[in-house]
Chains A and B, each alone.
Chain A
Amino acid sequence: MTLMPSIGRDDVARLADLARIQLSDEEIDRFAGEFDSIMDAVASVSEVATEDVPATSHPIAMTNVFREDVVENTLTQEQALAGAPEAQDGRFAVPQILGEE
């Protein structure tokens, strides 16, 4: 296995931007350091995960958990909107979206 790449300040800033999290310079420094120790821990797992061990996304070896295509109970519009900070015309009202479409 290859070594884990280390996570620098630039990577942290970029990740924060992608995740829409605002970080101060101090926080970026701190997280860069913490990420490094996390990456080291992950790297030690990689040492035992050899080529013949398939990647696992689920701890229990199950496949094909399906639901039949049958309509179930739905929420009413009132229930759906009950937790919304703002609603309008039966829809969730969200602040101005800019830049993307």
Chain B
Amino acid sequence: MTATTIEPVDYDEAIERYDPVLGIEVHVELGTATKMFDGAPNVFAAEPNTAITPTSLGLPGALPVVNRTAVEYAIKIGLALNCSIAETCRFARKQYFYPDLTKNFQTSQYDEPIAYEGWVDIELEDGEVIRVEIERAHMEEDAGKNTHVGGATGRIHGATHSQVDYNRAGVPLVEIVTKPIPNTKGRAPEVAAAYVRTLRDIFRALDISEAKMERGNVRADINVSLRADAEAPLGTRTETKNVNSFRAMERTVRSEISRQAGMLDAGQKIVQETRHFHEDTGDTSSGRPKSDAEDYRYFPEPDLVPVAPSREWVEEIRSGLPELPAARRRRLLGEWGFSDLEMRDAINAGALDLIESTVSAGASAQSARKWWMGELARVAKDRDVELEDLSVTPVQIAELQGLVDGKKINDKIAKQVLLKILEGQGGPAEIVEQEGLAVVSDESVLTGAVDQAIADNPDVVAKIQGGKVQAIGALIGPIMKATRGQADAGRVREIIMEKLGVTG
């Protein structure tokens, strides 16, 4: 802990006086069947120390062998981020002493990353597009998991000892490093989160990782520095480690900008260090002084030979890349005819896949949008869950809309059916059948109900016949009630007008 009591500066004021520059390192765990350098399964939440081989434990004599699929996935990431793929590259040992790896080094890449010099465009919530330059993407192994025992909050400080599970040790990682991201001004927090979200979506589209933030499949280290203005040289940066949710990324950047502005205002120097974000307070605290690269004493890994992806292999991988999220959004925007705002709302709500699947199941784009962004968004919000976690499928929504389009049920009944689907009572057609919710299309039933309503409401009839056609609603109400809401209101209106001999 630093002994300073310097007050952070209000965020908006800090942004007026200083120009923030970001740099982001994203680690993604690859979804391979096995680890980077050995055949132990790459699994989440197994019994501790069961998904390991002698290589995972770095036992004497155990030798690493590179996982071909992991290299392929790393190349996919590089290509998706518009990087050049190295003609040849090596692994290197990064030496450090910490019990999360048994070897006292992490097998990583240093001066020869597999991918370098790329870019990715990110779209902010209001539609502004920012290009982020990628410096490199390199392959490495994940470390084991420490559990600190004896401390108050499971943190390292105050712990009496620690326990280590090496199931995660050796899981393939790709680390993606940006160049400094300038000119984000007050939007720096949003840019940080949008960048990582963009990468997360790309990882999922490439199908190289489940990319679940809450499982730590995707982790970000966020560098922030301030300078006087966009012309000034870069200021000293801090690196906040392992920020694992989009909200935490925004809060980290905000709080670092405020804190550093306070230091600079007070004439203090920013210390180049790693910091930790605290979910409870929204602040960061000092970690350790940032090691210089030379402290890691990198040297080429003698147990592994260079990886030299042939140009044929790279082109084969390139030609097999799926449609990436940005291109897909442009295509869907054209196909669906949404407004930009409708599209952004759907993206921000995480509804794009759901709408697309609903459309492929036969619904129109607008009706699919109406369900997912209307009734279902409301239910998801009430229940505080994600849209995709609601217990209704796009196919069911398309079927439900099909019932409405075919005039089997009306909109109001459709909403009731939806709630029953969400309660697990069955599929749309099934529920309509079981509960007898189909629109009353038997003309004799409708005509009978109309006759009854006309007989019961002579004053309303007089008004309508006197020219106040809008009064017809007062007759439709009781008819819908008599048919338990299952009449087609349009047809009922027609019958009333026929009976009373009015038009319009």
Contact = CB atoms under 8 A, between A and B. Distances in A.
Given A89-B48, A93-B163, A97-B159, A73 B53 contact: yes
Interface string A56-76: 011010111111111111111
B50 interface: yes
A67 B33 CA distance: 12
B300 interface: yes
Given A57-B302, A66-B68, A101 B276 contact: yes
B287 interface: yes
A97 B147 CA distance: 11
B8 interface: no
A63 B307 contact: yes
B395 interface: no
A50 interface: no
A45 interface: no
A58 B65 contact: no
Closest 3 A/B residue pairs (Cβ) = A72-B39, A57-B300, A91-B163
Assign chain A's interface to a size class: 35 or more
B42 to A, nearest CB: 9
Interface SS majority for chain A: loop
Contacts of A92: 49, 99, 163-166
A4 to B, nearest CB: 15
A80 B49 contact: yes
B34 interface: yes
Contacts of A24: none
13 contacts: A57-B299, A58-B305, A64-B308, A65-B304, A66-B65, A71-B41, A72-B40, A72-B53, A73-B53, A88-B163, A91-B48, A93-B164, A96-B162
Contact of B67 (A58, A62, A67, A81): A67
A82 B304 CA distance: 28
Contacts of A101: 155-156, 276, 287-288
A99 interface: yes
Given A66-B67, A100-B98, A74 B90 contact: no
A65 B39 CA distance: 15
Contacts, number: 144
Contacts of B38: 72
B468 interface: no
A77 interface: yes
Contacts of B95: 18-19
Given A55-B300, A71-B33, A95-B162, 19 more contacts: A57-B302, A58-B300, A62-B305, A63-B88, A64-B307, A65-B66, A69-B34, A71-B41, A74-B51, A80-B50, A80-B166, A89-B163, A90-B49, A91-B48, A91-B147, A91-B165, A92-B49, A93-B162, A101-B156
B162 A94 contact: yes
A101 B441 CA distance: 70
A24 to B, nearest CB: 21
A76 B67 contact: no
A55 to B, nearest CB: 8
Contacts of A69: 32-34, 67-70
Nearest to B294: A18
Interface of B: 32-34, 38-41, 47-54, 57, 59, 65-71, 88, 90, 95, 97-99, 146-149, 155-156, 159-166, 276, 287-288, 295, 297, 299-302, 304-309
Interface centre among A81, A83, A97 (most CB of B within 10 A): A97
B39 A94 contact: no
Contacts of A76: 50
B58 to A, nearest CB: 12
Interface of A: 18-20, 55, 57-58, 60, 62-77, 80-81, 83, 88-101
Contacts of B155: 101
A69 to B, nearest CB: 4
B65 A67 contact: yes
Contacts of B159: 96-97
B415 to A, nearest CB: 47
B52 A75 contact: yes
Contact of B302 (A58, A90, A99): A58
B306 to A, nearest CB: 5
Contact of B48 (A64, A73, A90, A95): A90
B39 A70 contact: yes
Most buried by A among B47, B48, B287, B302: B48
Nearest to B288: A100
A97 B149 CA distance: 11
A18 B295 contact: yes
A77 B166 CA distance: 11
Contact of A63 (B59, B149, B160, B305): B305
Nearest to A88: B163
Contact of A74 (B50, B156, B301, B305): B50
Nearest to B50: A77
A46 to B, nearest CB: 16
B302 A70 contact: no
A38 to B, nearest CB: 15
Contacts of B276: 101
A68 B68 CA distance: 6
B476 to A, nearest CB: 65
Given A89-B48, A90-B49, A63 B57 contact: no
Contacts of B301: 57
A64 B305 contact: yes
B219 to A, nearest CB: 14
Contacts of A89: 48, 163
A80 B57 contact: yes
